[in-house]
């Protein structure tokens, strides 16, 4: 029986949908019904384990799962053994301190002597230690935002995405103590065969993520502007230049990073580029 990489992902919640989407973009074919706890991958040496997010670090440490996709905040909070292989670029959020809108907040020292409600006592304690703050932590598992309103605490520390939940509960965000996103974590003791399969998967993930952050650019330009345009569009090595039927003109093909996209377009137009096409890239093998 051939070796299979055991991949743990969230059974339900904010990470599940994006984790499944990423794995399928990497070419892995598997069923993912809501009642499933395990699924075989049809076309890759792996199986998917659907687990509670908070349990994934423990399963990785215990060798039940070889790798897992979890929030960075969960991995740090659980303090389990494992190696961060990749930051995956989705499910981005922040872990922040919030206080009632009417409360004054100057800096971390404001929390001295206060009660802080949170589901992340380990991370909050690290923050307090780093800032020489002596505060009392109340660990609660859910509905952290209501703690100040019912007199349980004077501040909270919780995951924030948009901040709308804080506003609804009469709170204001005053301190970001950690930025988090989905990460790929591996067991520290993977054998050589499992590591080889993991390397194949990481290669696919990097190819998918590179494609998302880049665009394929096609444009027409006068030949006397090609050198200047090449300086703007170096591409992965250099732009591809193909002569057009119209004398004195060529077609240039290149790849542009998403972050530089509009700035590059303005420069290209100024150099005489015409008929600019911007095409999404499905996969990008580096």
CA atoms within 13 A on the CB side of 1: 3
CB under 8 Å to 40, separation ≥6 — which residues?
Answer: 30, 47
pLDDT at 235: 58
Domains of the chain: 5-89+182-211 (3.40.190.10), 93-180 (3.40.190.10), 214-280 (3.30.70.120)
pLDDT at 130: 96
Kindly list the averaged pLDDT for each block of 10 residues, start to end, along the chain of length 286. Answer: 91 90 96 83 96 96 97 96 96 96 95 97 97 96 91 95 88 96 97 97 95 90 93 74 94 87 85 92 85
pLDDT at 34: 67
CB 39 within 8 A of CB 32: yes
Structure tokens belonging to residue 243: 């002569």
pTM above 0.85, yes or no: yes
The burial of 78, by beta-carbon neighbours within 10 Å (0-12 exposed, 13-18 middle, 19 or more buried), is given as middle
């Amino acid at each position: 029986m051939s070796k299979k990489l055991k991949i743990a992902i969230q059974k339900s919640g904010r990470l599940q949908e994006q984790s499944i989407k990423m794995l399928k973009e990497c070419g892995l074919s598997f069923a993912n019904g809501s009642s499933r706890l395990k699924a075989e991958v049809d076309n890759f040496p792996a199986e998917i384990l659907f687990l509670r997010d908070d349990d994934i670090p423990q399963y990785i440490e215990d060798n039940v799962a070889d790798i897992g996709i979890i929030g960075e905040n969960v991995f740090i909070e659980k303090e389990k053994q494992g190696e961060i292989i990749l930051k995956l670029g989705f499910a981005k959020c922040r872990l922040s301190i919030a206080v009632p809108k009417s409360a004054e907040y100057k800096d971390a020292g404001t929390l001295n002597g206060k009660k802080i409600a949170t589901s992340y006592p380990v991370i909050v304690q690290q923050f307090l230690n780093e800032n020489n703050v002596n505060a009392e932590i109340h660990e609660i598992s859910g509905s952290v935002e209501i703690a100040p309103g019912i007199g349980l605490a004077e501040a909270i520390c919780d995951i924030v995405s948009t901040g709308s939940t804080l506003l609804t509960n009469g709170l204001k965000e005053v301190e970001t103590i950690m930025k988090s996103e989905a990460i790929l974590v591996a067991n520290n003791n993977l054998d050589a065969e499992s590591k080889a399969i993991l390397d194949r998967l990481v290669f696919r993930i990097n190819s998918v993520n590179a494609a998302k952050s880049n665009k394929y650019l096609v444009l027409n330009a006068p030949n006397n502007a090609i050198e200047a345009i090449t300086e703007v569009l170096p591409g992965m090595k250099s732009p591809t230049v193909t002569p057009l039927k119209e004398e004195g003109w060529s077609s240039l093909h290149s790849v542009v990073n998403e972050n530089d996209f509009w700035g590059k377009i303005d420069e290209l137009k100024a150099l005489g580029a015409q008929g600019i096409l911007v095409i999404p890239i499905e996969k990008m093998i580096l």
